[in-house]
Chain A
Amino acid sequence: MKIMVCPLNGPRPVAEFAYGGEVRRGPDPDTCSDAEWSDHVFNRSGSPGLKYEWWCHIASGFWFVALRDTTRDAVLATYRADAVRRGLPPAAEETATADAVRRGLPPAGDAT
């Protein structure tokens, strides 16, 4: 991966972007147990696959979501954060949601 398409700035060199980790939904801190909270704080889905991730275009400070194949280092799609909130485009959603469900994550449409 050398170029990433920023939803705001278009194709830019990957060195201009910072990785912000996988898009995850946390438990409610007021009601969850200590075990649920430590699971959220520390544990990660370490296996390779299609993942929705937060990325930031550093120069413009713009945060967005990318669908990336972490086996191949290929970005399949990038979305503005508000687009993800409303649900992902169907083509990508199908594979990614299946993958997310397999790994025990909430369906992508719910991601915030």
Chain B
Amino acid sequence: MPYRLLRFALSRKHPEPRMFTRHDSLKAGYDVVIIGAGGHGLAAAYYLSRDHGIRNVAVLEKGYLGGGNTGRNTTIIRSNYLTPEGVRFYDESVRLWQDLAVDFDLNLFYSTRGHYTLAHTDSAMRTMRWRAEVNKHFGVRSEAVDAAFVKRGIPSIDMSCGGHAPILGALFHEPGAIARHDAVAWGYGRGADRRGVEIHQQTEVTGIRVQGGRVVGVDTTRGHIATSKVLCAVAGFTPRILDMIGLRTPIYVHPLQAMVSEPVKPWLDPIIVSGSLHVYVSQTARGELVMGASLDPYELHSTRSTLDFVEGLSSHMLDLFPFLGDVKVNRQWAGLADMTPDFAPIMGVTPLEGFYLDAGWGTWGFKATPVCGKTMSHTVATGRNHPLIEGFSLDRFAHYRLTGEKGAASVGH
């Protein structure tokens, strides 16, 4: 047995089919190079190969597949945003999510739970009504609901929140869902791989070659690649890539931390978000509570974890659910969030011809994975922004035309 195991480990021809093909070397050139094998990059590769027939594509990943924010988020999927641009875009994403598992032939554990955004003040209630009306206008199922509705939906919640932040009502978003985030990256990766896309892990981009205002190639730690189209989908590493081509953007990077409890029996069906308490929480199929809070308060390019975060988030969790006092925290981690001033992403073409950007996804990128792949693959294939992402272009800042999503994108900002 040990001998067979050793032979298996050393063999180049694994008898079991793997999720992805391992390519020993890079080709001299590709039609499209995608930097970053996270959900967004792999989704773009998948739709490029499936819908646009562009299969000579390399996805380059400095670390391992899905090891960045794709594997670090709290997996919440929703479309109850504030701006028309946001609502249309995320609603298309929710639609794509729903039959993704069939597309992939892979169980994504997509679970529609319903999503409560709690309001603890009159002004928060006003924002909830605003969001509900914008959502309904675009056919998205959201309702501003009162305190009694919240109590019926979440019987175990302390409506007074420890006496200092009583819940007045909520925005209830029925399609709110969670999914298994690793499977999303694997599903898109496998789908792209089967169509001829090459995924190269442990391959860091060290430079981007430009000639006459056009992209002509990419330098990596494993050699040079000639290409005329580069898609950058690297979340918190975006500024480092953009420095290579001298492109300035408003992106700034703060860590976002999250944590997970030990598994407990299923008791929390919906997803709960409270902007005032800086909490979002859902219970996974395994029974763990996945919890997140607001951004770390200053710029940092490290995924270190802090005790402050666990203490603060736990205290707010206990305001909502005092009976969790004896439940233990199992793990905590952090990801690098690429933030923008208006809390909307930066997507599409850039002043450098052949360089496409899918960035500024801050703390809200996971839910948009399918629609980002779809719209960015269209943008890369045609060289023009997809109509759904026009509100997210980089030049909106130069024209002072921001897409203000701050009230709906996240908590505690």
Contacts and interface: CB of A to CB of B under 8 A. Distances in A.
A43 B249 contact: yes
B239 interface: yes
A46 interface: yes
Contact of B240 (A22, A43, A47, A51): A47
B397 A38 contact: yes
Interface in A1-50: 15, 18-19, 22, 34-35, 38-39, 41-48
B249 A71 contact: no
Interface in A54-112: 70-73
Contacts of A18: 297
Interface in B382-410: 397-400
Contacts of B299: 19, 22, 51, 53, 70
A19 B251 contact: no
Contacts of B31: none
B397 A42 contact: yes
B251 A46 contact: yes
Interface residues of B, number: 25
A48 B253 CA distance: 9
Interface stretch (B129-137, B155-163, B301-309): B301-309
Contacts of B3: none
SS class, residues of chain B in contact with chain A: loop
Interface of A: 15, 18-19, 22, 34-35, 38-39, 41-48, 51, 53, 70-73
A46 B253 contact: yes
Contacts of B341: 42
B397 A43 contact: yes
A20 B223 CA distance: 41
Given A15-B308, A47-B243, A73-B302, A38 B398 contact: yes
A14 B120 CA distance: 29
B300 A70 contact: yes
B338 interface: yes
B308 A43 contact: no
B302 A72 contact: yes
A38 B400 contact: yes
**B298, B301, B304, B398: which has the most chain A beta carbons within 10 Å?**
B298
B297 A19 contact: yes
B120 to A, nearest CB: 23
B90 interface: no
Nearest to A47: B239
B93 interface: no
Contacts of A72: 302
Nearest to A43: B248
A47 B297 CA distance: 17
Interface string B289-326: 00000000111111010001000000000000000000
A41 B249 CA distance: 11
B252 A71 contact: no
B238 interface: yes
17 contacts: A19-B298, A35-B398, A38-B400, A39-B248, A39-B398, A41-B397, A42-B250, A43-B250, A43-B397, A44-B252, A46-B252, A48-B240, A48-B253, A48-B301, A53-B299, A72-B302, A73-B304
B68 to A, nearest CB: 15
Contacts of B400: 38
Closest 8 CB pairs of A and B: A46-B239, A19-B298, A48-B301, A42-B250, A42-B397, A43-B248, A47-B239, A46-B251
Contacts of B250: 42-44
A102 to B, nearest CB: 9
Nearest to A51: B299
A41 B399 CA distance: 12
Contacts of A41: 397
Contacts of A70: 299-301
